[in-house]
A and B are shown apart, each in its own frame.
Chain A
């Protein structure tokens, strides 16, 4: 980008110089297109790093001079020390693995079951008409409000976290797959039936491939929702997980550990988001739509 823009900007500058100067007499008359010059990429990155380092330094200095209350806000040096301890002698890997597993299982179960449920509405208009109000009801319930109940039923282990994550993702996938089913062109179905197709053939060769782009489009939304579900489940009752660590650290005023767990959690979220984005674009290429 920037390399291409530079000569244009240079040419403009030359034009400006070539202009005669009588406009000086009527200063307001001539306006030019505002030109924004793009910085080179290294400068942008340097600025980003600069802001981060600056903010951390201010935080650290503020905490040491007493301008920021280190008891409530902690300070970067303490957070770094806690980070080291968390990963060397602490439960870092147990917690990461626990939260990761809850999220992935919830994501997979919710997305798969939801998509199948949404697709199943194609099979019978009567069935769809009967079940649809319940699905909409389920959508309007704030699922997180049900989390305490889910924990009671499924216990404080991994299963209950998976259940909360599933509850959040299932409805989204159901409604999206159903939207795909509703967008199906009646003439395409007609074509299949004119070729003597059975309902199963129409479902496999038309409905599923047609709805796949819809199903794929919610994967990124669902991974975020699944992580939220897993964390909330851990907040309520758990023995492991990053959510549980955040809650525990907060209750014991170990603010540095709160920051550490939040940082690790953000990293986990970014990694999973990137992986699902990659999956989504790969699937899209496979589906060609």
Chain B
């Protein structure tokens, strides 16, 4: 396709679920276009179809309409094209941390030895040194999330979907993990689509924030975040940041069908 084709393109994707009582319109036609190497967030109330979009992009759900394009090529309904990290870490309790992180490579038939050799230095560099041969039940929540994220990265796809990866962590760990994720993202130059409930997290991490509404799930606004990188914690207090934050909160509250208060924790 053309040189300027976006890395990931979600074109008019809609979703209607059939239920025993009729049909449920989960997603109005949604269009997203994400250039290579961008960090983009989706925020919105529960039930706005964020996870549905992710499942469709990952090929785990066939959309009722529209297409998913990766590098301009139709990838609708095909699996194994993007790295997908679900809310739960889903580490396998019978595998060591190291063997959990190489799961993606193993499934792609990379020889075990080569996969482990690739994974080990990354585990060391990204804060899991000394944990490689432990089993997941010996790890804290933050460490488990790190292992799950490295598993997603080591799957070696250009596009990575992160579904509220830090949702279950305490505030302090969450901040640390955000810095850690920024480090990973700039080292690996992946294209990231990130779902969160936390407005500040979304703005702090992203190049662009898409605000979603419910019934049916749709994108109600796309807000670019022009803050310079690398960002520091202090930038969350800068006037530019606060303007964007206020705009996002306003949009989330304007949505009359918002079913849940939005997490505004600072």
What residues make up the interface of A, taking CB atoms closer than 8 Å to B?
185, 187-188, 190-197, 201, 205-206, 209, 212, 287-289
What are 5 inter-chain pairs, A to B, with CB distance below 8 A? A190-B86, A192-B107, A194-B79, A194-B84, A288-B94
Is B127 part of the binding interface, using a Cβ–Cβ cutoff of 8 Å? no
Instruction: With A187-B88, A205-B106 as known contacts, state yes or no: A195 contacts B94, CB within 8 Å.
Output: no
CB <8 Å contact, A195 and B155: yes
**A187-B90, A194-B58, A194-B79 are known contacts. Are A288 and B107 too (CB-CB below 8 A)?**
no
The smallest beta-carbon distance between B112 and chain A, in angstroms, is 12
Is A289 within 8 A of B94, CB to CB? yes
Q: Is B238 an interface residue (CB 8 A)?
A: no
In the bound complex, do residue B60 and residue A201 qualify as a contact, i.e. CB atoms below 8 Å apart?
Answer: no
Distance of A190 Cα from B87 Cα, bound (Å)? 12
Contacts of B135 in A (CB 8 A): 288
> Do the beta carbons of B107 and A196 come within 8 Å of each other?
yes
Q: Which residues of B contact A288 (CB under 8 A)?
A: 93-94, 135
B94 touches A193 (CB 8 A): no
B172 to chain A, nearest CB (A): 27
The residue that A209 contacts in the complex, of B88, B94, B104, with Cβ under 8 A, is B94
If A187-B86, A190-B86, A288-B135 touch, whether A195 touches B92 (CB-CB below 8 Å) is no
* A195 near B93: Cβ-Cβ < 8 Å: no
When chains A and B are docked, how far (Å) is the Cα of A205 from the Cα of B103?
9
In the complex, chain B residues 50-75 whose Cβ is within 8 Å of any chain A Cβ: 55, 58-60
**Taking CB as reference atom, which chain B residue is nearest A212?**
B94
16 new A-B contacts at CB < 8 Å, known A193-B60, A288-B93: A185-B90, A187-B90, A190-B60, A190-B86, A191-B84, A191-B86, A194-B59, A195-B80, A195-B103, A195-B108, A196-B81, A196-B107, A205-B103, A205-B106, A287-B94, A288-B135
Give the residues in chain B near A212, CB-CB below 8 Å: 94
